[in-house]
Amino acid sequence: MSIGELQSGRIRSDDEPQLVTWRVLEGITEPFQSGTDSVVPVWKQMKASADQKAADQALQQALHEYGQLIRHPYLFGEVPSQEKYDVFLSMAKLLMAMGFHQRAEVLLYEAMSYTKDAYEAHLQLGLLSLDREDLDKAKVHFKNCLYYQESDVFILTYLSMVLLAEGKTHEAKFFLGRIVSALQSKLQRLSFLLSEAELKATTAPMEFHKLSVWFEDTLTKVFY
């Protein structure tokens, strides 16, 4: 009889199963409990956490977590280039929302060194330049945007407005013509959707509504 049995006032039989402690099972259960976390790289967990805080408009917290990831040399070294671009771009947008435009500009230029498609970075730099009324720099960045997306009506409209503001009417007409061409292709597609044969099988009125809302929203943002 063991001391534990004497203290508990209970006598174990010889064939009674022996209960093991949690320490014995620790090595067996632990892989199942932490397996999910161990598969996901630490940098990805940190970035996901910062992205979520940015989406929740917790700007200071998101910036702090992005900064922790960037300042960790080993973790940040494991981050793929496109994800690094996304980190710097996200931080720049947060700084712009907080009014720190100069710091945002530095991060946007840093972001471009990590990607082959810097459309979004050039767009944000163009908008920053417009905010400073630096039309020359804004024009350069918007033209760089067209290098990546040559038929982007949003960028073509901005660029046309900048050129008109500079008095460069002939150059502005060229980009306005490209806007019309892009819209004509959309209208041709819309006409096809509105044909009698397609009207019964599709929701063409909803397509027209989406197109009109998109166009109004684009023009409103640009003229504002």
Per-residue confidence (pLDDT) for residue 21, from 0 to 100 = 46
- Alpha-carbon separation of residue 145 from 5, 109, 167, 219, 220 (angstroms): 80, 14, 22, 18, 20
Per-residue confidence (pLDDT) for residue 51, from 0 to 100 = 93
List, for residues 172-212, the tens digit of each pLDDT value: 888 888 888 877 777 666 666 656 555 555 544 555 566 66
Calculate mean pLDDT across residues 84-91: 95
Angle between helical axes of 153-165 and 169-193 (0-180°, round to 10):
150
Backbone φ and ψ of 54, nearest 5°: -65, -40
pLDDT band at 64 (very low <50, low <70, confident <90, very high): very high
Question: 195, exposed or middle or buried, with CB in 10 Å at 0-12, 13-18, 19+?
Answer: exposed
In the predicted structure, residue 117 carries a pLDDT above the cut 80: yes
Single-letter amino acid, residue 90: S
Which residue in this structure is represented by tokens 């280039």? Answer: 81
Q: Is residue 161 within 8 Å of residue 146, measured between CB atoms?
A: no
Calculate mean pLDDT across residues 120-148: 94
In the predicted structure, residue 4 carries a pLDDT above the cut 90: no
Per-residue confidence (pLDDT) for residue 175, from 0 to 100 = 86
In the predicted structure, residue 113 carries a pLDDT above the cut 50: yes
Over the Cα atoms of the chain, what is R_g? 29
Per-residue confidence (pLDDT) for residue 30, from 0 to 100 = 45
Identify the weakest region by mean pLDDT among 56-60, 96-100, 143-147, 189-193. Answer: 189-193
